[in-house]
Homo-oligomer: A and B are copies of this chain.
Amino acid sequence: MVEVKMIIAVRKDVDLGKGKMAAQVAHAAVSCALKSEKDDKKVFKEWIRTGQKKIVVKIENLETIYRLKDMAERAGVVTSLITDAGLTQIAPGTVTCLGLGPAEEDVIDPITSNFKLL
């Protein structure tokens, strides 16, 4: 089987402290993992078996996040859009990041490989 990975894209234009940002990324990862465990069992199991590879990338803004989400869904990739409760550093309801996958690299790479690592 080809490599299976999860990508988490974090908005560059939202100002989050690193602990808060890590919590948002973790939220995306947990949501995607639970969705794929239910809906995409084979890929999920392979992802766990191979060490649940995750890559965190940065993404320009909200518009780019929605475009990416749309492309991923059309490719059959699990997504999870994360909105912060906004109790602390940012406004309530702010979209902070998008989780994608786990998915096989030949499906997810064409969608995400142009994003830079965070």
Q: Name A's interface SS.
A: helix
Contact bitstring A12-49, B, C-beta under 8 A = 1, else 0: 00000111111101111111011001000000000010
Q: In whole angstroms, how far apart are the Cα atoms of A87 and B30 in the complex? A: 23
Interface size in chain A (residues, C-beta < 8 A): 30
Give min CB distance, A48 to chain B, whole Å.
Answer: 8
A residues apposed to B, CB below 8 Å: 8, 10, 17-23, 25-31, 33-34, 37, 48, 51-52, 54-58, 85, 117-118
- Take A29-B30, A30-B52 as given contacts and tell me if A21 and B23 are in contact as well, using a CB distance cutoff of 8 Å: no
- Chain B residues with Cβ below 8 Å from A27 are 29, 52, 54
- Take A19-B117, A19-B118, A117-B19 as given contacts and tell me if A54 and B26 are in contact as well, using a CB distance cutoff of 8 Å: yes
B51 engages A85 (CB within 8 Å) = yes
Q: In whole angstroms, how far apart are the Cα atoms of A23 and B34 in the complex? A: 17
Interchain residue pairs with CB less than 8 A apart (25): A8-B26, A10-B19, A18-B18, A18-B22, A18-B118, A19-B56, A19-B57, A19-B118, A20-B56, A22-B118, A23-B25, A23-B54, A23-B55, A25-B26, A26-B29, A26-B30, A26-B54, A26-B56, A27-B29, A29-B30, A30-B30, A30-B52, A33-B33, A33-B34, A34-B37
